[in-house]
Amino acid sequence: MSRFNRSGVAGAAILAVAALVAVIAPLVISADELDVTRVTAAPWQSPGAEFWLGTDHTGRSVALLVAQGAGTSLFVGLTAAVLAVGIGTLVGIVSGHFGGLVAGALLRVTDFFLVLPALVLAIALSTVLPRGLGTIVLAIGLTSWPSTARMVRAQTLTIEARPFVERARALGGGHVHVIGRHVLPSVVPLVLVNATLAVATAIVAESTLAFLGLGDPTRISWGAMLHQAQLHGAVPQRAWWFLLPPGVAIVVVVLAFTLVGRALEAVVTPKR
Amino acid sequence: MILKVAIVQQIDSMNPFLAVFQSSTEVGRLMYDYLTAYAADDQRVTEGLANRWEPSADKLTWTFTVPEGKTWSDGQPITAHDVAFTYNLMLTNEVARTANGSFVTNFSSVTAPDDRTVVIKTKAPQVTMLALDIPIVPEHVWEKVTNIKDYANDQMPVVGSGPFVLTEHVAGQFIKLKANKNYWRGAPKYDELHFVYFQNSDAAVQALTKGEVDLVNRMAPAQFDSLKDKAGVTRNKAQGRRFVELLINPGARTRTGEPIGDGNPALGDVRVRRAIAQAIDLDALVQRVNLGYAEKGAGLVPPVFGKWHWEPGEKELRTFDPAAANAALDAAGYPRKADGTRFSLRLTGRAGRAYDEQASEYLKRQLGDIGIPLDVRLVSDNQLNEATTVATYDLAFSGWATNVDPDFILGLHTCAQRPGADGKGGTTDAYFCDQAYDELYARQLSEFDEGKRVELVKQMQARFYDQVPAVVLAYENALEAYRSDHFARFTTQPAQGGVIMAQNGMWGYYGAEPAARASASGTTWVGFAVAGGVIVFIVVAIMRQTRRRRATAGERE
Amino acid sequence: MRLASRLGGAALSLVMVAVLGFFLFRVVPGDPVVSMTRGRPTTAAMQAELRAQFGLDRPLHEQFWGYFTSLLRGDLGTSFTFRRPVSDVILERLGPTLLLVGTSTVIAVGLGLWLGVLAAWRRDSAFDRTTTGVSLTLWAVPTFWLGMLLMMVTGDLFPSRGMRDTDTAPDFLSQALDVGHHLVLPSLTLVAVVCAEYLLVMRSSLLEEMHAPYLTTARAKGLRDDLVRRRHAVPNAVLPAITLVFLRFGLVVAGAITTETVFSWPGLGLLFYDALTGPDYFLLQGLLVVTAGAVVVMNLLAELLYGVLDPRVKVV
């Protein structure tokens, strides 16, 4: 129990740092330092005094790129998670609360999306839609909502079976009242946990899509950096300083979200 | 001795009538000779299956002689009937025209009056009769093929006339060919040629450094640089057949004159197009994006085809001059607005193509300097193709590989290549339609005096340069590398600064000479040993841990 | 009755996959014929001929009907890229994928479940903390990145791509060793990523089981800890974990796509990636139907298995 809390706090601290970097980086780093047309440093420099993490294939500082990429990766992760959890919650509550034909259909759709390999669908979506951050967010969000929906539905059913909800209904509480006053409050903690874990998945998914060349090529993200590293031959050149930092950044942030999510989970669902 | 070559593109078919991918054509050249060939040293037309040819006085009848003594890989003699059979199959069967139909559209008949003579009659004089890039197939094999469309041509070994015989093909993995001992030019100097499929050139370069393959091409400049001091690897920087260009939508129209697409109307003004061209610093692009592995662009024919290549004279040359471009735009009636911009344009390029990703940054800045902000859109390959085939672009990256005969690349920019009324069937992506250019094109097509034809071809390129439906940005070098510890020498085409792969011929593979003492790789099993050791170590460690825990658990009771 | 509804649901999912497969990829902009013929002398007539060969000149609803009826006969159409029936192409690539996924899954399940048991049994011990920490970290690692790292770190020890060398002796032993040599890095990558998931699942499943009253009874009877674990807790906890393994099959599919892309492993994942660049509609359709179909079937199996093995489970 306490261990989870400790690692949860550590995760939260890491996230705070990452968020700080994401906010500050664009303010501190001048556009010239990341503009391939203006940089003057030699490409493929290994780490040294001037460039802590060396330079990439165009002579830009890898350290600055990682800092700059934090914003994009976090933004995509958060928005995609919000989208996914939002859809999931809506579908879950509606199918749990209303029942009947609507619920049946929604449940069917949820099950369908649950079994579809999410990555395959996300790849397909990002090829169909025009390139851009919005597409990535949409592709990830639209493919990762079903598990939330399943869970929220189950919770909704449990809550609505409780006596006090039945009482509220008997007293003439409408759908809005029941959902707003009873179902939502009991679902929110679960949804929060889910959202935290969903951010972790979304960040990994973003990096995978970007790596496959389906990301927004005009923006710097960690996945896009790895895509560049592969495209320009970082592995045969043994340019570990170009390959390691963005990957480590992904792992650390994703791990932090997971830890926080698990800590929250432990709080929300007390042990039997 | 085996030569292993990395390829990145898939093979669509081994059936030479159907195969349209460049990689398939390349393998096809090794299996089947054409009627004529292009010499390795200077790319002049030389003996293929035919060794003599003669046009009639009116240039409508061509007589080719197929000499005695050439045989198919199964020992059957190659005759004029095989040639006539191949061409007639294409004339009579629409499916057989899938890949190379454009070469026979002007044919009226092909006959073989005897074993040695092929007579081709054309509807109109055709200057490209010695550049018929059509693989000739053996009649005794293909006469039994009833359905060309479904024929995979995989009866191994595949009977052919080229220096190699196809013996095995596993799609997406590899292609194996054996040296054709009966080849009429003489057998190749090694036994087998393998093409190994790679996901991307990065993986291919890595395999080269490990000695898993012997030959790699189409490297990115950075990859090429990374091999600089690699022992056992020799790099070949060659003049390429490719150029990259920036399309400027000149107000696209269909063949019937209907407007198509949504290009910015300002680009219909040739003064604007010239100003844009003038604002692009071609030298900077070559230096920073191509890392110097390219030559500055000008005409449509790359310098590797020396005699057809055109360089702007002093008067025609547009030097990089943003101030002049600014002035020209002011004069043309596109003044800067309050925010300093004139109008904005979309720039469409391909995501994942290193050139587009980098060059777009430079163009964004350079055109920004003349008050034209760019909205860069990097899209997938097919989305880019879609944008250019329906003209939904303002500026777009494109590029073409050119052939020995300039007819293809020049013809691509004639009015007739624009799509039909339904928006389909076009092959141009530049939508250039210029009467003066088209007249020159028609004249060069029937000009049999080569000196005069060269002059016409250059005039066409000058016209294209002047009207700027596209800016030729650079002639990219072909960057290749090979294991010189395995293979000492390759035949390049042309002899000076030429390519090994993607030739207009098969000389690079055919002429490869094994190194005197090829070293065998010994590292193969070390990996296994290490992996095995690690696994054993982990298992033992975990088992010991378990035992100990179990023991203590027992004691705890 | 429950079985019938399950089967019906799975069948409906399959039909939806088929419909989705057709329309999803038709929305991809671009004319495949133009992409195919780019860069070579092509006339409009030649393009039209190619379109006709692939049936692309027919109206969409006709194409759909043709696709759907032939799908019922098991015919998935013809691939543009390979000019062969899609089913042949997929069958050809199925072997390598089964080899990679099969090897990795067996190792990952074995290792993951075993370590999961150990970790749960010694909850909060140093061992538990380490394995859980490592698993959580591995779970956070993007598959492709791990692959690239392994490639860089191992240098020349392992081949960088593909499934076999072209110049290996044709006898069975050499070929098998060669394939094994190529298999090491990709399967290691896949195992590392998938194993973490199984370990965590097994761990939490066993932890739940250990709170069950019957275990207390067993202990009270004086059974040794070790025996309690082996005879009672583990067998009961393994079942839900294994069904979860089936349920997470989609995860393996995703892992296979990225791993195969990084290592050029000639399986279905790589085929999918290649088909996207065409775009090869028929191949994409076929792949979606086959992979999603496999996942649907796997899930069905998992649920049936779950119901049979654990009568306490009520189907929601």
DSSP B290: S
Other C-beta atoms closer than 10 Å to the C-beta of B54 total 9
Residue of B nearest to A36 (CA): B361
Residue written as token pair 């004139």:
B342
pLDDT of C259-291, one tens digit each? 888 888 888 888 888 887 667 778 888 888 888
What pLDDT, on a 0 to 100 scale, did the predictor assign at position A14? 92
Is the CB of B357 less than 8 angstroms away from the CB of A232?
no
Which residues 25-44 of A have a C-beta within 8 angstroms of B? 35-38, 43-44
**What H or E segment, with its residue span, contains residue B112?**
strand B107-114
Answer whether A37 sits within 8 Å of B362, measured CB to CB. Answer: yes
Helix (H) or strand (E) holding C87: helix C86-121
CA distance C255 to chain B (A): 17
Q: Is the pLDDT of residue A220 over 60?
A: yes
Cα–Cα distance measured from residue C303 to residue C295, given in angstroms and rounded to the nearest whole number: 12
Residue B481 φ/ψ, nearest 5 degrees = -150, 150
Contact indicator for B437, B278 with CB cutoff of 8 Å:
no
At A2, the pLDDT band (50, 70, 90 cuts) reads: low
Question: Which of helix, strand or coil describes residue B27?
Answer: helix
Interface contact B386-C38, CB threshold 8 A: no
Instruction: Give residue-wise pLDDT tens across range C185-225.
Output: 999 998 988 888 888 888 888 887 777 777 777 777 777 77
Describe the crossing of helices C268-277 and C249-263 by its angle, rounded to 10 degrees. Answer: 70
Cα–Cα distance between B30 and B135 in angstroms, integer? 10
C-alpha closest to that of B401 among C39, A97, A249: C39
Cα-based torsion angle of the residue sequence C291, C296, C298, C304 in order, rounded to the nearest 10 degrees: -170
- Which residues in chain A have Cβ-Cβ distances shorter than 8 Å to B223? 232-233, 236
B341-384 tens-digit pLDDT: 999 999 999 877 778 888 998 999 899 999 999 998 888 777 78
Backbone angles phi, psi at B63, to 5 degrees: -115, 120
The β-bridge relationship of strands B36-38 and B45-47 is antiparallel
Q: How far apart are CA B379 and CA B396, in angstroms?
A: 11
Distance (Å, rounded) from C-alpha C22 to C-alpha A163? 48
Concatenated DSSP letters for C181-224?
Answer: HHHHHHHHHHHHHHHHHHHHHHHHHHHHHHTSHHHHHHHHTT--
Interface residue A127 vs chain C (CB under 8 A): yes
- The minimum CA-CA distance between B323 and chain C, rounded to whole Å, is 37
- Is C256 in CB contact (< 8 Å) with chain A? no
* pLDDT (0 to 100) of residue C316: 35
Structure confidence at residue C39 (pLDDT):
62
**CA-based nearest distance A234→chain B, Å:** 8
State whether residue A20 is helix, strand or coil. Answer: helix
* Pairing mode of beta strands B233-248, B215-216: unpaired
> Would you state the pLDDT for residue B523?
47
- The CA–CA distances, whole Å, from B53 to A239, B62, B175, B374 equal 56, 7, 35, 54
Q: How far is B204 from chain A (nearest CA, A)?
A: 10
For B151-160, the pLDDT digits (tens) are 888 888 999 9
The model's pLDDT over B38-70, given as tens digits with 9 standing for 90+, comes to 998 888 899 999 999 999 999 899 999 999 999
CA B515 to chain centre: 29
Question: Confidence class of residue A53 from pLDDT cuts 50, 70 and 90?
Answer: confident
Q: Per-residue pLDDT averaged across B12-25, rounded?
A: 85
Residue B77's pLDDT is 94
Q: How far is C274 from chain A (nearest CA, A)?
A: 11
Which pLDDT value is given to residue A272?
A: 39
Q: Is the peptide bond before B494 cis (omega within 30 degrees of 0)?
A: yes
Helix axes C281-309, C268-277, angle to 10 degrees: 140
Residues of C in contact with A229 (CB under 8 A): 148
- Chains touching C (at least 3 CB pairs under 8 A) are A, B
Nearest CA in chain A to C296: A115
pLDDT-derived band at B526 (thresholds 50, 70, 90) equals low
* pLDDT tens digits along A16-48: 999 999 999 888 887 777 777 677 777 778 888
Q: CB-based contact (8 Å) between A162 and chain C?
A: no
Q: Taking a contact as any Cβ pair under 8 Å apart, which residues of chain A between 136 and 155 contact chain C?
A: 154
pLDDT higher than threshold 60 for residue C314: no
Rounded to an integer, what distance in angstroms lies between the CA atom of residue B83 and that of residue B72? 13
- Taking only residues 100 to 139 of chain B, the set having a beta carbon closer than 8 angstroms to any beta carbon of chain C reads 100-103, 105
The torsion angle over the Cα atoms of residues B542, B547, B549 and B555, rounded to 10 degrees, is: 180
Q: Measured in whole angstroms, how far is the alpha carbon of residue B331 from the centre of its chain? A: 41
Which among B102, B173, B210 has the least Cβ separation from residue C163? B173
Residues B443-494 pLDDT 10s: 998 888 889 999 999 999 999 999 999 999 999 999 999 999 999 999 998 8
Between B202, B358, B383, which is nearest A235 by CB? B202
Give the closest of B203, B425, B557 to C160, CB-based: B203
CA B212 to chain centre: 25
Partner residue opposite C292 with nearest CB, options A115, A125, A252: A115
Pairwise CB contact (< 8 Å): A232 & B354: yes
Q: What is the mean pLDDT of residues B196-208?
A: 83
Q: Which of residues 200-219 of A touch B (CB under 8 A)?
A: 213-215, 217-218
Please, are residues B293 and B301 in contact by the beta-carbon 8 Å criterion? no
| pLDDT at residue B522 in the model | 46
3-state secondary structure of B155: coil
Secondary element (H or E) of residue B456: helix B450-467
Sort out which chain C residues have CB atoms less than 8 A from A116's CB and list them: 17, 250, 292, 295
CB of B218 less than 8 A from some CB of C = no
Inter-chain CB proximity A233 and B205 less than 8 Å: yes
C7 vs A: CB within 8 A: no
Return d(Cα C273, Cα A174) in angstroms, integer.
50
Distance from CA of B382 to the nearest CA of A (A): 9
Quote the crossing angle between the two packed helices A222-231 and A240-268, to the nearest 10°: 150
Give the highest mean pLDDT range of A152-156, A212-216, B537-541, C165-169: A152-156
CA distances to A44, A229, B483 from B210, in Å:
21, 19, 10
A256/chain B closest Cα distance in angstroms: 28
SS3 of residue A118 by DSSP: helix
- How many other β-carbons are positioned within 10 Å of the β-carbon of residue A57? 25
Q: What pLDDT does residue B555 have? A: 44
Contacts of B504 (CB under 8 A, 6+ apart): B38, B43, B241, B403, B404, B493
**Residues C61-84 pLDDT 10s:** 888 888 888 888 878 888 877 888
Point out the least confidently predicted range of A222-236, B263-277, B282-296, C206-220: C206-220
Q: Which residues on adjacent β-strands are paired with residue B349?
A: B378
Q: For residue B297, what is the DSSP state?
A: -
Search chain A and give the residue with CA nearest B228: A237
Judge whether B5 and B215 are in contact, CB under 8 Å: yes
Q: How near does any CA of chain A get to the CA of B148, in Å?
A: 33
Q: Does the pLDDT value for residue C38 go beyond 80?
A: no
Task: Name subunits touching A (3+ CB pairs < 8 A).
Answer: B, C
CB B348 within 8 A of CB B248: no
Max avg pLDDT among A204-218, B258-272, C8-22, C235-249: B258-272
pLDDT over 70 at B531, yes or no: no
**Record: contact C82-B13, CB cut-off 8 A:** yes
- In this complex, the residue of C142, C284, C292 whose CB is nearest that of residue A116 is C292
Q: What is the CA radius of gyration of chain C?
A: 24
Residues of chain B with C-beta less than 8 angstroms from the C-beta of C123: none
Chain C CB within 8 Å of residue A247 CB: yes
Model confidence band, residue A3 (pLDDT cutoffs 50, 70, 90):
low
Query: Band of the pLDDT at B556, cuts 50, 70, 90?
Result: very low
The closest of B242, B235, B283 to B476, measured between CA atoms, is B242
Mutate to test the interface with A, among C13, C129, C130, C145 (most CBs of A within 10 A): C145
Element containing residue C19 per DSSP (H, E): helix C2-26
pLDDT average, residue stretch C141-168: 84
Considering only CB atoms, C159 lies closest to which of B13, B149, B212, namely B212
Distance CA A19, CA B431 (A): 49
Burial class (CB within 10 angstroms; exposed 0-12, middle 13-18, buried 19+) of B157:
middle
Show Cβ contacts of residue C69 under 8 Å, excluding neighbours closer than 6 positions. none
Q: For position B529, what pLDDT does the model report?
A: 66
